[in-house]
Amino acid sequence: MTRLLLALLLLAAGAPVTAEPHNPYLEGATTLGVDGAPAPPSVADRIALIRERLQAALVYPRAAQRRGLEGVSRIQFVIGPDGRAREVHTSASSGHASLDRAAERCAVDAGELPRVLGRLEVPIRFSLEDERRRH
């Protein structure tokens, strides 16, 4: 209570208020997380990793490649307690059923994924040029 009153008085007097007194030994130090443990990856970082893993698990259907089919399928799913994709379905079609099925399958085949709560929607890209570079 005393610190709060002192801070209010200093603020009213126009003096800068800091939460902690300056400690020259801590200059340049960064917070790693709770109790010195590394901070976990951000949600954006986890979603980026999920997209990478799904794209890596993608098997481009041979028949679709021969026919020159390309496109983007948007799939939705949740990540279960075991880290695996559950309730996978296509939310926006690539325009080709075989590509949409392959996109859904890659979510299941990707194995354990970083945990993110809620339903995710992820675009899965089918590009013949990217496929040639992969192989």
CA separation, residue 74 to residues 89, 92, 122 (Å): 9, 5, 6
Instruction: Please check the confidence at residue 71 and state whether its pLDDT lies above 50.
Output: yes
Which of these ranges, 5-9, 35-39, 88-92, 129-133, has the smallest mean pLDDT?
5-9
Residue with tokens 């040639």: 132
pTM (two decimals): 0.69
Which of these ranges, 3-7, 27-31, 73-77, 86-90, has the smallest mean pLDDT?
3-7
Q: How far apart are CA 88 and CA 78, in angstroms?
A: 7
Which of these ranges, 36-45, 49-58, 116-125, has the smallest mean pLDDT?
36-45
% residues pLDDT > 70 (the chain): 72
The domain over range 43-134 is classified in CATH as 3.40.50.300: no
